Amino acid sequence: MQHEHRMMVFSCDTSVAFARNVVKHLKKLDIDDEDKVRLGYVEVKHFTDGEFQPYYHDSVRGATVFIIQSTIAPSDNLMELLLCIDAAKRASASKVIVVTPYFGWARQDRKDKPRTSIGAKLVANLLRAAGADRIMTCDLHADQIQGFFDIPVDHLMASNLFLQQIQDLHLPNLSIASPDIGGAKRANFYANTLKKITGQEPPIIICHKTRLVQNEVDTLRVIGDVEGRDVVIVDDIIDTAGTLCKAATELKKQGAASVRACATHALLSTDKQGVPAVDKIEASDIDEVYVTDTVPQPKGKYDKSTKIHVLSMSDLFARMMRNVYMYEPISPVFHQDY
């Protein structure tokens, strides 16, 4: 009789490339049935009116099913994920674990004005209602979103990659900057961690911005000593890159020797004036931008960029998935021995 406890990995359409990389790393790890770990096939049938229905080609009965999908726009990506969760549950999967490297709607984590939605909470409810038993994600826009779920949440941090990258740059006068007041906690974490590694704590710079409308920065003021510093801006999302580019310009004006950025989720949208974020970064005063592959990009999107460098989170996610499947501690994946 076949042992039913087995790992099965699937991907929705948007995150197939990321999922393939995860499976490559899984095959290198010590797993009970490592020879059988592969990326399963989910066929999605499309109707003429836009409706769609997923179908698993493999039996998932009794299996621990991992479904990989970043819930970026459009909302069809979220709906496809919900339908895949439901299909796996109805096909008698033992567990359904959602791996969403980028958790969309995370910027709606509270009511910042009357008569608005809390989109992050709604999406958390939808995933649970569909049948998800566990969520794995990366760099939520706000840590408290973990409390929106009534199921376990494994929250990876891209700092595992970025801190190593910052060290490899060997910047002589390093300062850590936050692009806004809300990111001060993140900047402080980077500075404190680097102090544990190197014995020296880099100064922190805060960029205070105001907005009149979404995705448009009205004013930006730099708080901190910038003259002669090699500044690294740390953030979770680059959307239209307006804040990032404006911060780089202001920092250079105040005498920064260099300006770089580390941002986890590269949404890289086109702004209201029709300027793509990639083009905006290339034309800006910023020297380099390091992002991860949590948000899939069309093939060739980075080809014309000399400043954007992509670091992969697939290995970290593979290790976390392996430990959860093997009922082993996952804290070693979250925290390095600093």
Residues taking part in catalysis: 209
Instruction: Give the CA distances from residue 296 to residues 15, 130, 136, 137, in Å, rounded to whole numbers and listed in that order.
Output: 6, 24, 17, 15
| b/e sequence 202-228, b meaning 16+ C-beta within 10 Å | bebbbbebeeeeeeebeebebebebee
Identify whether the C-beta of residue 305 lies closer than 8 Å to the C-beta of residue 283.
no
Among 75, 182, 64, residue whose Cα is nearest residue 123:
75
Among 240, 230, 132, residue whose Cα is nearest residue 177:
230
If you ran DSSP here, which 8-state letter would residue 19 be given? H
